[in-house]
Structure 1
Amino acid sequence: MFLIILGMLIISVGFFMAKGNSPLARFKGIVRIVGLVVIFLGAVTSMLKVIDAGDVGVKTLYGKVDENVLHSGLNIVNPLVEVTTFDIRTQNYTMSAVHNEGNKDGDDAIRVLSADGLEVVIDLSVLFKVKPTSAPNILGTIGTDYVDKIVRPITRTAIRDNAVSYDAVALYSLKREEFQQKIYQTIAASFAKRGLDLEQLLVRNVTLPPSVKAAIESKINAEQEAQKMTFVLQKEKQEAERKRVEAQGIADYQKILSTGLSDKQLQYEAIKAQKEIALSSNTKIILLGSNKNPVILGGMN
């Protein structure tokens, strides 16, 4: 379009030169030809439109939107149409309490009231993309700022509307997956009506009030202590059982000795013990024989 306007200006200059008595008037024909060439080049370039990979183009002519989109590559179009590109790749919109982590600066987390009246802070990421065939309808009904008009408000509203059905602790732990699936279905249905595909919904973090968080941590610590005590008691019980079995074994052994050993067996055991003492390297005094006729052996190695 710029070249067409430039060519028209050059032709106008040529007509101006033709009316005057300037020495340059003899070049008026050349100027007009140059102007026509520039207009021609402008018309040709205006008919060629390159759409980048991952985008589609939507044509509008005097405010009317063409339902047929331009796909990536080189396209020939009416030089009078205006082409608006839409990104059809996966887009990520994050709302976070951490500064500069989300799409907006500062704390942009979603604050909701749970069923038990507590304020819960939720960090969320939305993965979505524009349906290529729906790009003309989005341009005509919403515009190019569909993220601020559709993605953000619908997501935040769905979070708040569904969070009121859950207690704060349930959102934090037991019902988190169920909550995420429920809001996914709600948001996906709303997006589909407006030409957007919801690919994935990620509940990144659920922050409870400090008092509730402290109560949960205290409960967890108490449960861990109870489990530890159960382990200790079980270990003590096993040790007591081991000692009981050991004591019973000793008692059985002593019973066998007191009732089942003869004098010769006792004498044999005594000789074995005396032999071990005699072979040791320590100083020793050994008494052999009976009480009436003892034999004393002494020595030092």
Structure 2
Amino acid sequence: MAILTLKPLMLLGSKINSTYIAICVSWRRYLHRHILGILFTALLLFATVVILWPLVYVNIPAGHAGILFKNLGGGTDLERVLGEGANFVWPWNRVTQYDLRIQKDVQKVDVVTSDRLKTSVNYAYQYEIYYNTLPLFHKSVGPSYLDVVIRPIFTGTIREIYSQYTSDEAFTTKTKEIANKIFQKTNIKLLESVNPSGLGNINFFELLTFEILGISYAPEVEAALDAKAVELAKAEAYKYKILAAKAEAQRKQIEAEGIAKFQETVKAGLTDNYLKYVGVQATESLAKSDNSKIVVFGNSPGGLPLILGDPDKNASSRAK
């Protein structure tokens, strides 16, 4: 009974095995017949993926955004902004990327002041592009916005404002005032000039800071300014010398007036008898000293004694 039960299973297994073998043989025959076509198709598919991958896959780095342009219809997509990371588009479309981070631009411009001094001004500013208006900004201005809009407006504004000041004001006393005016006026001009037709004032980007980095003069102008600075320093030094001389003259005048007042005060008490009394006291003090000396008295009644030093010491000093 068991043998009769296993026999159909064995027959089914052999039938499946023969079918598998037949399929394998059929595939082998197919591969042998179409091997070149299969290899060509695989190679063509691989080449298609390699060529189209850069057109289909778009990676947006951090702090950037992309604007999609549909070549087969629609143009600039004003509703969609591609964010950071991986993005997939049709190969016939194009993506333009914008840096949305705070950026800095350093430039140099030639200016002429109201007194016709020609100077080069180095300046820098920071700006930021708005994310929400990026599609319209791309359609109205485009990625060359620095050369098309911002830098020309800055150049014109800086030259206009510097022409209203003298060189002394522009480069010494009113530098901060000029920088503030340039910053404010450029912001207004950007808002007024960069606008799509038929729409009101739209902020596409914002100026954050503006600063004057330095001033460059022509060599002959710089030499003249250095000479002027030296002469000004000398003039200041002469002023201090004059003040010192005046102070010294006043001091001497005050000293002379004090001596004159002292002499007038003492003069009334300097009588002949008082002077003789002082001379006698001085003679007594010298006579009491241990040193030998010679005292010579004059012939006149009011003459004071003349005291000479030790003759032995004088002789020894002459001998030396």
Same fold (TM over 0.5): yes
Tell me which residue corresponds to 1:149.
148
| 2:82 alignment partner, SS class | coil
Q: CA deviation at 1:37?
A: 9.5
Tell me which residue corresponds to 1:70.
82
Counterparts of 1:190-205 in structure 2, within 5 Å, are 190-192=189-191, 194=194, 195-205=204-214
Q: Is the 8 A contact 1:60 1:66 kept in 2?
A: no
Q: CA deviation at 1:190?
A: 3.2
CA offset digits 1:257-277 (Å, max 9, x no partner): 4444756972587369849x9
Counterparts of 1:233 and 1:152 in 2: how far apart (Å)?
Answer: 53
Counterparts of 2:89 and 2:241 in 1: how far apart (Å)?
Answer: 84
**Corresponding letter in the other structure for 1:202:** E
Query: Residues 284, 245 of structure 1: CA spacing in aligned structure 2 closer, same or farther, 3 A cutoff?
Result: farther
Tell me which residue corresponds to 1:83.
95
Tell me which residue corresponds to 2:12.
none
| 2:62 alignment partner, SS class | coil
Whether 1:95 aligns to 2:107 is yes
Tell me which residue corresponds to 2:197.
none
Q: What 5-or-longer segments of structure 2 have no aligned partner?
A: 1-29, 195-203
Query: Residues 30, 217 of structure 1: CA spacing in aligned structure 2 closer, same or farther, 3 A cutoff?
Result: closer
Query: Residues 272, 136 of structure 1: CA spacing in aligned structure 2 closer, same or farther, 3 A cutoff?
Result: farther
Q: TM-score, normalised by structure 2?
A: 0.61
Query: Residues 248, 166 of structure 1: CA spacing in aligned structure 2 closer, same or farther, 3 A cutoff?
Result: closer
Tell me which residue corresponds to 1:177.
176
Counterparts of 2:186 and 2:110 in 1: how far apart (Å)?
Answer: 18
Aligned-residue RMSD, C-alpha: 4.7
Counterparts of 1:198 and 1:284 in 2: how far apart (Å)?
Answer: 101
Tell me which residue corresponds to 1:16.
none
Aligned pairs, how many? 265
| 1:92 alignment partner, SS class | strand
| 1:89 alignment partner, SS class | coil
Q: Is the 8 A contact 1:129 1:197 kept in 2?
A: yes
Counterparts of 1:272 and 1:93 in 2: how far apart (Å)?
Answer: 98
**Corresponding letter in the other structure for 1:156:** T
Counterparts of 2:276 and 2:44 in 1: how far apart (Å)?
Answer: 138
Query: Residues 265, 186 of structure 1: CA spacing in aligned structure 2 closer, same or farther, 3 A cutoff?
Result: farther
Q: CA deviation at 1:154?
A: 1.5
Counterparts of 1:205 and 1:284 in 2: how far apart (Å)?
Answer: 85
CA offset digits 1:24-64 (Å, max 9, x no partner): 51686798789889989999998865432232222333332
Q: Is the 8 A contact 2:76 2:135 kept in 1?
A: no
Q: Is the 8 A contact 2:107 2:122 kept in 1?
A: yes
Which moves more between the two structures, 288-297 or 160-169?
288-297
Whether 1:138 aligns to 2:147 is no
**Corresponding letter in the other structure for 1:151:** I
Tell me which residue corresponds to 1:237.
246
Q: CA deviation at 1:292?
A: 8.7
Query: Residues 67, 292 of structure 1: CA spacing in aligned structure 2 closer, same or farther, 3 A cutoff?
Result: closer
Query: Which is higher, the Rg of structure 1 or of structure 2?
Result: 2
Counterparts of 1:99-110 in structure 2, within 5 Å, are 110=109
Which moves more between the two structures, 186-195 or 289-298?
289-298
Q: CA deviation at 1:239?
A: 1.0
Which moves more between the two structures, 242-251 or 42-51?
42-51
Q: CA deviation at 1:235?
A: 0.9
Counterparts of 1:292 and 1:264 in 2: how far apart (Å)?
Answer: 7
Counterparts of 2:89 and 2:180 in 1: how far apart (Å)?
Answer: 46
**Corresponding letter in the other structure for 2:141:** I
Q: Is the 8 A contact 2:60 2:87 kept in 1?
A: no
Tell me which residue corresponds to 2:34.
25
Q: CA deviation at 1:168?
A: 4.2
Q: Is the 8 A contact 2:58 2:88 kept in 1?
A: yes
Counterparts of 1:1-301 in structure 2, within 5 Å, are 23=32, 25=34, 49-62=58-71, 63-72=75-84, 74-79=85-90, 82-96=94-108, 110-117=109-116, 119-192=118-191, 194=194, 195-207=204-216, 220-260=229-269, 262=274, 266=278, 270=282, 274=286, 285=293, 287=295, 298=310, 300=313
Query: Residues 258, 286 of structure 1: CA spacing in aligned structure 2 closer, same or farther, 3 A cutoff?
Result: farther
Counterparts of 2:128 and 2:212 in 1: how far apart (Å)?
Answer: 18
Tell me which residue corresponds to 1:5.
none
Which moves more between the two structures, 182-191 or 290-299?
290-299
Query: Residues 272, 216 of structure 1: CA spacing in aligned structure 2 closer, same or farther, 3 A cutoff?
Result: farther
Q: Is the 8 A contact 1:65 1:140 kept in 2?
A: no
| 2:143 alignment partner, SS class | coil
